[in-house]
Amino acid sequence: MMSGVTEANEAVWSSPVRVRVGYGFPEAIHGPREALEYLKWRWPVREGTYYLRALKECAACLQRSIPLEKVRETFVLASIEAKMLS
């Protein structure tokens, strides 16, 4: 698995982050591109320290300026903040 910043547009994390949107089934988020889509379009709360940080870091990772696993950690914290971690 990729853990650096090269090829971040197609990069996946070392292990997916499982989130639950509403009362739905858990869904696996595999990398920063997918996480950014969730944050923009499926996230129930559009505020919070980690939500805003995750938005910025996912976008920066796609530009290859932040390591993948740092972005994964922030996305996990945003998921906890929004009570979505499954």
In a domain, 12, yes or no: no
Query: Is residue 68 a part of any domain in this protein?
Result: yes
Number of structural domains the chain divides into? 1
pLDDT, tens digit, 9 for 90 and up, residues 27-75: 999 999 999 999 999 999 999 999 999 999 999 999 988 999 999 999 9
Task: Identify the domain containing residue 74 by its residue range.
Answer: 21-81
Query: CA 75, CA 66: separation in Å to the nearest integer?
Result: 13
DSSP string, 46-80: ---HHHHHHHHHHHHHHTT-S-HHHHHHHHHHHHH
The answer to whether residue 10 sits within a structural domain is: no
Measure the CA–CA gap between 26 and 20, rounded to whole angstroms. 4
CA 75 to mean position of chain CA atoms: 4
pLDDT score of 10: 76
- pTM for the model stands at 0.86
Is 75 part of a structural domain of the chain? yes
